[in-house]
Every structure is written in C-alpha cells, then in structure tokens.
Amino acid sequence: MNRSGPASGFTLIELIVVITLTSIISILVSRNITRPVEGFIDLAQRAELVDAAELALRRVSREVRLALPNSVRLTDGITPNMQSCVAAGATSCAVEFLRTSDGGRYRALPDGSAGPCGSPGNDRISFSMSADCFEVLGPLSNIPLFAGAADQNACLAGTTDCLVIFNTGQVGANAYNGDNIAGITAATANSISFDISGGAATRFPFRSPRQRFHIVDMPVSFVCDPAAATLTRQAGYAITAAQLNNPAPPGTLLSDKVSACRFTYQQGSNSRNALLIVAITLSATDTQGNPNTVRLLEQIHVPNIP
C-alpha cells in the first residue's frame, strides 16, 4: 500500500497574518524613513533660498556703495523719492542711483607750471564757463568714456561718461535734474575736459568745499517685482529727472522666488553716511505643500560727501 508524505505549505490564516504584519512593518518603516528624508529635502531647499538671497544682497550692496553721494532714490511707480518702499503682491519697488566709476580732486588754483591743459593758468577749473579743462590732483584709476562732441545731453543719454561736482540732491544741485552734471569731452589720467551746455545748466552752480569731483558712468536700478517673483538689475538707460519703476526691462535676473522686498533709505548728514536697508523675502513650496520662506536683511552704508 502506497502512503503519501506529510502535506507542506501555508494555510490561508497564516498567509493573512503574514500579509498583515508585513503591511504594519512597512507603514512603520515608511513613516520613520519618509519624514527624515522630507525634512532633509526641505532643509536643503531652505539653504538654497538663503544662498540665493545672500548672493542677491551682496550684489546690491557692492554696487550701491559706488553710488554718487545723494543720488539714491526709491519709488513704487506712483510716489517719487520715497523713504521706504514695500514690494508685495502686485506692487513693485525700485531703488535707483548714479554709479560712479572714479573720482578725485580738481585744481582750483594755478601752480605756475605747465600742465596737461596747456598753459599753467588753464589747469584750474572754471565755474563761469560751460566748457573747460582742468588738472586732476592725483591720477585717475579709470579713464572715463568720452566723446569729442559731447555735452550734457550726451551725458544724460549715456553716450559719454559724466562729470558731477557737489551733488547734494537738493534744488539747484541735483544731477538727475541736470543742475551739476556735464558730458566729458576728453580725458587722460591727469586731466578732464567737459561741456555742461546743451541741457539745463550753462555752468557748474557750486564749488565743492573739498574740491571733489565724481565720474558717473551710468544709472543703475534694482527692481523688486513680487508679481513676477524676481529681483532684477537694470542699467543702460538714460538719466531722467523722474524715476522710473521699471526703466529697462527685463534686466539681469539676480534672484527668483522673490515674494516681498522692503527698501528703506535714510539720508546722510555731515556727521554720518547715508543708509540703505534692503530686506528680501524668498519663498518656495516644501514637500508638505507649505511655504518655505526665508527673509534676509542688509544694511548698506552709502558715502555722503559731495
């Protein structure tokens, strides 16, 4: 008689128990692994936002420190010369300044020796003429861009660099209004020729108490637009009396994911520099669908000696 061997395998109950236990263990393991992974991803995203904001603020700070004294101004496109401008939602803000490429001191009195402008008497600057040549006391580090037939209009249009003397930002001494800004017609390391005619002024209205001058190469704007989620640098446009909120779009992108900005400007005085405070907020959606937000602030001291 043939006898069959013992039966082997799982019963249905055993299979159900194994499946249930495996599911419970998988859920526990998934929770213990998923949350840390998501936290790591969110932390990396936050670090990326911080890096982007720091890089943008560093770029703004580096250029604003080159601003012509008393040339920083803010607008939201509606109100000019604001002290504080908040960009949020559909409201954008811009900070604008005239960027200097060099500067120095001019000769106010002749020294009795032949100089770069011809005879000794021609080396001092004239405040009664619309065009003149003067000797620079100490060589220029950067030779300005110049055009032989330039005047103030050419300077304001950006086809030649500009000479500015004693810019206080007040009526009669405001470079944006053409009060004290001239086109450079010739330049060397030791001399500058200028022409202030053709625009609002026929001569420089004020002497600098410290015989200082500045060379302006261009206006620059940093525009925060939360609607587009961008902070951009805009340049290569004309100098205008009225500030434009978006002068040369689209500009160079400094940062995306921008949800808000605040620009605050405190005018300087004889005893302290001006101060520009820039706050920028960047946001991105984390792995849980919540906003991951960072806000950084930079205080920029702006030289205020005209």
Same domain flag for 264 and 179: no
Strands (E), the chain: 73-75, 84-88, 93-105, 131-135, 162-164, 181-187, 191-195, 212-225, 230-235, 252-256, 258-266, 274-285, 291-302
Same domain flag for 250 and 274: yes
Which of 173, 207, 241 corresponds to the end of one domain?
A: 207
For residue 86, is it within any domain? yes
For residue 242, is it within any domain? yes
Same domain flag for 84 and 114: no
For residue 291, is it within any domain? yes
For residue 243, is it within any domain? yes
For residue 132, is it within any domain? yes
Q: Which domain holds residue 137?
A: 107-207
Instruction: Find out whether 200 and 226 touch, Cβ atoms under 8 Å.
Output: no
pLDDT for 142-189, tens place per residue? 999 999 889 999 999 999 999 999 999 999 999 999 999 999 999 999
For residue 149, is it within any domain? yes
For residue 25, is it within any domain? no
What is residue 252's predicted lDDT score, i.e. its pLDDT? Answer: 96
| Strands 252-256, 73-75: pairing kind | unpaired
pLDDT for 79-134, tens place per residue? 999 999 999 999 999 999 999 999 999 988 887 777 888 776 788 999 999 999 99
For residue 90, is it within any domain? yes
pLDDT for 2-55, tens place per residue? 555 565 666 777 777 778 877 777 776 666 666 676 666 777 888 999 999 999
Token pair belonging to 158? 């950006």
Q: Which of 242, 243, 245 is nearest to 227 (CA)?
A: 245
Same domain flag for 151 and 195: yes
Same domain flag for 123 and 270: no
Q: Which amino acid does the sequence have at 100?
A: T
Q: What is the total count of domains within the chain?
A: 2
Q: Peptide bond before 250: cis, by omega within 30 degrees of 0?
A: yes
User: What CA–CA distances, in Å, run from 180 to 131, 139, 207, 212?
Assistant: 13, 22, 10, 13
